[in-house]
Structure 1
Amino acid sequence: MVIEESFWRFGKWIDVVIDDLLPTIDDKLIFVGSKTSNEFWPALLEKAYAKVCGSYADLDGGFMSEALMDFTGGVHMEFVLNEAPTYLWDIMDCAAKSQTLMGCASYHGETREAVSPNGIVGDHAYTVTGVFKVMSEGNPVHLVRVLNPWGNTEWNGDWSDKSSLWDTVSKQDLKCRERLENGEFWTSIEDFTRNFESLDICCLSPDFLDRSSGCHWKSQCNFGKWIAGTTAGGSMDNMATFWKNPQFRVRIEELSEDCTHEEGAENILVSLMQNHEKRTRSSQKNFMIGFYVFKVRGESGKFSAEFFNDKTPVEMKSFQNSREVMGFFWLEPGEYLIVPCTENPGQTASFVLSIFSKHETHFEYIEEAEENEDNS
């Protein structure tokens, strides 16, 4: 039997064709399997993804966010949990109600996938499967439900399956409790942010963030290249060449009447992704990448070296050695300049720069032919 799957790779959908032969040892699947013996779609999907990435070996390790985007073509949001906003649980609640995919990663242990005394597996990917608010002795407690994909090994602290804290809630709130050794458990949002390092949310649109049903986030993307000797200027530590990087102008309009905005809430998401040309994942090399956002006022053409000499970015994304970096910001209506770059100058690579905004937004690449205009 021939099976066809589609995956989103670097800004476009690609089709993958596989057969239904699966790798086994002693008639048992070697890799992904199902609890139901006659259910094979997870293993077939895994085989198709292995073909996209090069081999089964290329699926070992990596970033959860990459797989979430490859499978859905969605928007990725990452929250570093020790820096998470106070309203993180509210964001997760909105995401859960809209059936948005969520995953989290635990901190690195002394050895890979070592189990800590509290039951959390180190350097391990988990799925967030729900959020719930209970009343405990008259006080609200915000809970997060987490699934260990192993199907066992669970958190054993407060609000775990056998925690006595469940005795303090009403029978109505007890409906969310399951006392099964199935890898799924509850924890408070406070313990969640202490014991996990990051939260990844992947959605088709950030619309779930808004209470106003008439407000819809819009997306735009541009494909670009850093070319050694011409457009690979490096970070702002390299001011002599920084201006040579590709430059993108963004104009953010006033918010429409259909949208509401809460003070301090983010209104724009910027994603910078390295666009790898080699299919095999193990042969792909990530550079340290990041971007800067500057406020501008009416200038035209490509901005010269003099423009950046005394310019401070209003936002920036620190450099990371990963396929994608993203920033979630609040920017006032107006004009901005986004400069994506590698940390070091002279590094050749392709990239996809995307923005998602709840405002009407105009996003364009500043052509190289304009670079000789006086913008200082």
Structure 2
Amino acid sequence: METREHHGMFADPDFPADDSSLFCDYTTPLPKLLGDVTWLRPQEICEHPQLFPDEPAAAHPKQGILGDCWLLCACSMLLKNQHHLNKVFPPEQPLWGDRVYRGEFRFQFWQNGLWIEVRVDDRLPCINDTLCFSRCQSPRAFWVALLEKAYAKLRGSYERLWAGQVCEAVVDLSGTIAVRWSLKEAESPRQPNDSQTQHKPNGTKLSDLSLELKERCAISCCVHSASTGIPELGQYHAMSVMEWTIVTMITGEQVELIRIRNPWGRRSWAGVWKEGGSGWPSLEPSCAQALLGRTAEGEFWMDEAEFQHEFDEVTVGSPVNEAGHLQSIYTGSYLTHSHQIGGRWVKGHSAGGCRNNSTFSINPKFWIKVCERGEVLLSLLQYGCPDSPAEGGGLQHPHLQAIALHMWKVEKKHFNLNRMLNKPPLVSHTHTYDREVVLHAHLNPGFYLLVPSTFLQGAEGRFLLRVYSSCPASLSVMKSPPVQHCSEGEWETISSHSCWSPGSTAGGSRNFSTHGLNPNIPLTVTYDPGGNNTKVTLRQHRPENSLHAIGFHIYKVPDGESLLTPCATSPVVSCVPHAHSQEVSVFCRLQPGEYVVIPSTYQPELSAHFTLTFTRRIHRKAVQSQELLGHVVQEVSCVSVMRR
């Protein structure tokens, strides 16, 4: 591998021009390039390089030897929306020929709710002095190659772009919500509706979208198996939908035509609407000439029936206007209110799995308050973790959990949580190995309970919950219910806040006779099914640079007594030695009975506030549910990736 350096030019130390930026695990065909790649700056590849060509059609991406058609479909989306393009690729950056140009470019990508900046140099991988990965149709334009490099840096290497989902790239390049619809499955049965909601199921048809919406949306189409009309495609290839139009044939019949762009940059369609095909004579010559005149290199037309037959799936990204308002693909209305909040599934604490598990109720829970009837779009997006496989050895997707989102309408201020969760959800999305799942509903005013979950119990991960609505609404975390309302749950968590005060409650460790002055926090254990059943966590509220050494002891209160004399009693469990840590904890087994937990600093007479948290196992019946991990056909489509 060879690199040519220029004095004074920026060379990115975090994404160097060597094999570490090309490869990650050598599991794709890409390592065949070992030793053949040189890294050149655009001015070394051609004379007078440009970011964007003078001819708009020449700005479209053309796929190289890297299998990232899924990313290039999202790049084509940017060319249809100047607002999105300026967000991802901020304008007015120094270019070749400018006196201050140093070979550095800045990009922005939407990641887990935030726009983050990625800087790269302009050294690009080439073979025989020609770009070997994606490029523009114009050999002098470099915006696609530079964006691809920035996205490869974001993902870790070029090899990590070999396969992926169009919907993920669309979201990363716009911050919108994208959904995937199968063109081959029969429409799934609608869920039971009441007066509160009219849920649009995953079986929504592309034909449900108005022509105006189709033009505004970012839409791509893909094949999962070898195509009959496009024999060269093979499996897993994505294309961009560039235009929808309805034309009137000479017979008076109307037909919907779709202009499609192949990222390979060549026309690959043998149907009746190919150039010179049998469909064009059925149109007025002027109409046919106008449509054919709009086809650029790599583009072709097909009608709706051919589209439905040839492609297996479409990805639809919701339009977002310059004010940041998302437009509903179901109604066309702008959802002018939006909220987002993060969360996580933690094993043994908030990773309860699906509704088949008795631990479902420990999953994170959120409130949506809807102030007036309106349209609501909900998204659960899990944070990707490309460096580690899914928990539980998931075989369907190497980096993602199977996730779902359920929603219940809560009619009363005081309610039994477990009884509520045993009822069928008002709206839900089945568990699937997607980065993001989406719900759509029309909701009446009131409170709604949202529960995001993984299919596997104990599967850990972080997620972002987003809510877009046409009406005023709020999103908040549901606080843990009081102890007396949790008797049926398998685990419950309660917290106690107190402080060590010099002269009264700062007694120090058991080395000091004043140990008993520390706060005495009662703990009741009622259920012992065997194994660890109690977790106690002590957290001090002090700056990191001034932490005290903290620990605690758990004492058993003798049966029939209500008071404890720590100096005359040995603890049954201790969290020692005292540690200069923000938080210390112990996970143990305690027999049913009354206990006292005494948290302390090692030295007496030290001041600090603290929180003591108890997580206890308690008896609860399993939820009556037979939840399945999607349908077989759905699973196949959910995990397929566009790699050709």
> How does the TM-score come out when normalised to structure 1?
0.84
**Relative to 1, partners in 2 of residues 1:328 and 1:211: Cα closer, same or farther, differing over 3 Å?**
closer
How many angstroms does 1:330 deviate by? 3.8
- Counterpart amino acid of residue 161 in structure 1: E
Q: Map of 1:1-376 to 2, 5 A cutoff?
A: 1-82=103-184, 83=187, 84-85=203-204, 88-89=206-207, 91=209, 93-98=211-216, 100-109=217-226, 116-119=228-231, 121=233, 122-136=235-249, 137-171=251-285, 173-174=287-288, 175-178=290-293, 182-202=297-317, 203-204=319-320, 205-207=325-327, 209=329, 215-238=334-357, 240-255=358-373, 267-276=375-384, 278=385, 285-299=399-413, 304-309=417-422, 311-368=423-480, 370=481, 372=483, 374=485
**Relative to 1, partners in 2 of residues 1:329 and 1:170: Cα closer, same or farther, differing over 3 Å?**
farther
- Counterpart amino acid of residue 348 in structure 1: E
How many angstroms does 1:352 deviate by? 0.4
What count of residue pairs does the alignment treat as equivalent?
A: 353
Q: Larger relative CO (CA 8 A, sep 6+): 1 or 2?
A: 1
Which residue of the partner structure matches residue 259 of structure 1? none
Identity of aligned residues (%): 29
How many angstroms does 1:64 deviate by? 0.8
- Counterpart amino acid of residue 275 in structure 1: Y
2:389, 2:421 → 1: CA distance?
37
Report the secondary structure of 1:31's partner residue. coil
1:45, 1:336 → 2: CA distance?
41
- Counterpart amino acid of residue 313 in structure 2: S
How many angstroms does 1:57 deviate by? 0.3
**Relative to 1, partners in 2 of residues 1:365 and 1:193: Cα closer, same or farther, differing over 3 Å?**
farther
How many angstroms does 1:279 deviate by? 6.5
Deviations 1:91-135 (A, max 9, x none): 26223443x3221221233xxxxx544447231111110100011
Report the secondary structure of 1:36's partner residue. coil
**Gapped regions of structure 1 (runs ≥ 5):** 110-114, 257-266
How many angstroms does 1:319 deviate by? 1.3
Deviations 1:9-29 (A, max 9, x none): 111111111111111111011
**Relative to 1, partners in 2 of residues 1:332 and 1:146: Cα closer, same or farther, differing over 3 Å?**
farther
Deviations 1:332-371 (A, max 9, x none): 4443221110001111111001122222222222023x35
1:300, 1:245 → 2: CA distance?
20
2:329, 2:294 → 1: CA distance?
32
> How does the TM-score come out when normalised to structure 2?
0.51
How many angstroms does 1:56 deviate by? 0.3
How many angstroms does 1:209 deviate by? 4.4
1:364, 1:318 → 2: CA distance?
23
**Relative to 1, partners in 2 of residues 1:320 and 1:85: Cα closer, same or farther, differing over 3 Å?**
closer
Report the secondary structure of 2:171's partner residue. helix
1:117, 1:193 → 2: CA distance?
12
1:132, 1:180 → 2: CA distance?
13
2:372, 2:106 → 1: CA distance?
44
Q: Radius of gyration: which is bigger?
A: 2
How many angstroms does 1:231 deviate by? 0.8
**Gapped regions of structure 2 (runs ≥ 5):** 1-102, 188-202, 391-397, 489-644
